[in-house]
Homo-oligomer: A and B are copies of this chain.
Amino acid sequence: MSTHPALTRNQSLVLKALDRADGPLSAYTILDRLRDEGFRAPLQVYRALDKLQEFGLVHRLESISAFVACARPDCHGHEMIAFAICQTCGRVDEFSDEAVQESLSAWVSANRFMPAKTTIEISGNCAACAELTEKA
């Protein structure tokens, strides 16, 4: 668990950019934020992101084509993780639910499917934003 090679310069920079952000970032936004560090091309970002995902330090949110730093500092396994994404404020909640995990595992075994990556994303409005919109 939780072990990965030391990060290279590019990987560290990309991870720091995601850590500093208060929400998910697109690869091109990361690129823009790292221009001053010498970043020039999308590939520099995508390559770093690939490795960081491999290490479990970053997650890709498929439904919005964006990336977030893993919320659980020292738990970089590859378990099943779910995300709640607020369409209004952009805030993302990362959570891991045993019950969801078991239910999906059950289907997977029953169908002899060999899972490689599982995506669970709930888009909607977070508690705070939902409250605001229903007052309108």
Residues in A lying within 8 Å of B, measured CB to CB? 62-63, 82, 84, 87, 93, 95, 97, 99-100, 102-104, 106-108, 111-127, 130
Contact = CB atoms under 8 A, between A and B. Distances in A.
Contacts of A63: 62, 117, 119
A112 to B, nearest CB: 4
A117 B123 contact: yes
Contacts of A130: 112-114
* Copies of this chain, whole number: 2
Contacts of A104: 82, 97, 100, 120, 122
Contact of A95 (B62, B102, B107, B122): B107
Contacts of A117: 63, 122-124
Nearest to A103: B99
B120 A119 contact: yes
A83 B30 CA distance: 30
